[in-house]
Structure 1
Amino acid sequence: MLRIGITGGIGTGKSFVSKIFKSMGIPFYDADKEAKNIMSKSDIVRRGLINAFGAKSYNRDGALNRKWLADKVFKDPEKLQILNSIVHPVVIQNSKDWADKQRGAYSLKEAALLYESGSYKSLDYTILIAAPLDLRIKRVMKRDEISEEEVLDRMSKQMSEEEKEKYADFIIINDEIVPLLSQVLDIHHIFLKK
């Protein structure tokens, strides 16, 4: 079974494209969602976060203190790198274990930080979802109800689209002009043949 990664910058529509693949019955792993579960449930990650950031990483009831942790790491690139070094290896292993159990022609792993985390190295192919900058900004402003400046700040912390294109085996253009479904189906048929 082929292992395929799908990624894209904020506002490109990677989750929407992933839903199209899911609707065709392709086994699907949402790395960002699983990372949140792992941060809440994994003893290894819990110990790592408490050692790195202190007991306030978790609330008294044992739940991850998301807001506090986010405020602590997202303004400091070094702390964000520490957080990622604790969480990413566990998520990558979890996704490999999940993929081992799947059946069919291929499975799909969606991850915002597919290239940045290095998890693309354990995949057979990757798909990058791309969209024009102005459209991405509008989508995120509407979705998250934030200003253009806040969107641009978030984007500045991500790997550039140009850099991601160097790693991608396939690129799907999600610009609301080029038909999306035909691009997805073309790639789907390529994977079925392989």
Structure 2
Amino acid sequence: MTIVGLTGGIGSGKTTVAKIFEELGVPVYNSDNRAKSLMQESPELVKSIKDLLGEEAYLNGVLNRAYISQQVFNNKELLEALNAIVHPAVRQNFIGWAKEQKSGYVIQEAAIIFEIGSQDFYDCIILVTAPEETRIERVVQRDSDNTVEGIKARMKNQWDDAKKIEASNYIIQNENIEQTKVQVLDVHRDILNKI
């Protein structure tokens, strides 16, 4: 089974690109969504997160994402500590999921592949890029709770695109949906040819 990492900065359009791959029949694992589920459902993770961030990390038993974001996105050590708790659980969940798939390759969509040093886990990596202004605009439209300052703070915790481009096997420029679809199809064919 070939394992492909799909990454890109906040607002780059990873999820849009992932949906196009799904339309081509490629199984895609969304790490952010699974992490949120695991942070809610796993008693071990809940305990570890409360130990790290306090009881306020959960409100009436529900993950308090606004509080957690406020705590970690301007505190690099706290963010790294949270990642060290959550990412191993997501990795184990992904491995189990991947074993159940029946296709030539699977994709793990994950925002911070490079930032957590997990690039060597993948057979190849696809990077989704878009101009910074476009990315900020997309995030604000997607979630009106986000401020431009908050989005920029999150961007500072991610590698810049120039650094990620050097370490990626494929680059998809996600500005025009029709052009993005063509690029995804090209990448898909290339990966299938190499399997």
Aligned-partner residue type, residue 74 of structure 2: K
Which deviates more, 153-162 or 86-95? 153-162
Name the structure 2 match of 1:52. Answer: 52
Which deviates more, 149-158 or 159-168? 149-158
Q: Are the aligned partners of 1:105 and 1:191 in contact in 2 as well (CA < 8 Å)?
A: no
Name the structure 2 match of 1:94. Answer: 93
Q: What's the CA shift for 1:150?
A: 4.1
Name the structure 2 match of 1:185. Answer: 185
Q: Are the aligned partners of 1:92 and 1:119 in contact in 2 as well (CA < 8 Å)?
A: no
Residue segments in structure 1 that go unaligned for 5+ positions in a row? none
Q: What's the CA shift for 1:81?
A: 1.2
Q: Following the alignment from structure 2 to structure 1, what is the Cα–Cα distance between the partners of residues 12 and 32?
A: 16
Aligned-partner residue type, residue 18 of structure 1: A
SS of match in other structure, 1:179: helix
Deviations 1:125-182 (A, max 9, x none): 1100011223223323333345544433332232111121122111111122881122
> Closer, same or farther in 2 for the Cα pair 1:173/1:82, shift >3 Å?
same
Residue segments in structure 2 that go unaligned for 5+ positions in a row? none
Q: Following the alignment from structure 1 to structure 2, what is the Cα–Cα distance between the partners of residues 56 and 149?
A: 23
- Indicate whether 1:135 and 2:125 are aligned: no
TM-score normalised over the length of structure 1:
0.89
Q: Are the aligned partners of 1:4 and 1:125 in contact in 2 as well (CA < 8 Å)?
A: yes
Q: What's the CA shift for 1:12?
A: 1.3
Q: Are the aligned partners of 2:73 and 2:153 in contact in 1 as well (CA < 8 Å)?
A: no
Equivalences for 1:9-24 in 2 at 5 Å?
9-24=9-24
Q: Following the alignment from structure 2 to structure 1, what is the Cα–Cα distance between the partners of residues 147 and 62?
A: 30
Deviations 1:87-134 (A, max 9, x none): 111111111121122111111110111222233322111100011223
CA RMSD across the alignment = 2.0
Name the structure 2 match of 1:156. Answer: 156
Name the structure 1 match of 2:106. Answer: 107
TM-score normalised over the length of structure 2:
0.89
> Closer, same or farther in 2 for the Cα pair 1:37/1:81, shift >3 Å?
same
Q: Following the alignment from structure 2 to structure 1, what is the Cα–Cα distance between the partners of residues 142 and 177?
A: 20
Which deviates more, 103-112 or 150-159? 150-159
Deviations 1:37-92 (A, max 9, x none): 010111221221122222332334x3223233222222321111111111111111
Which deviates more, 97-106 or 30-39? 97-106
Which deviates more, 64-73 or 164-173? 64-73
Which deviates more, 163-172 or 176-185? 176-185
User: Number of residue pairs matched?
Assistant: 193
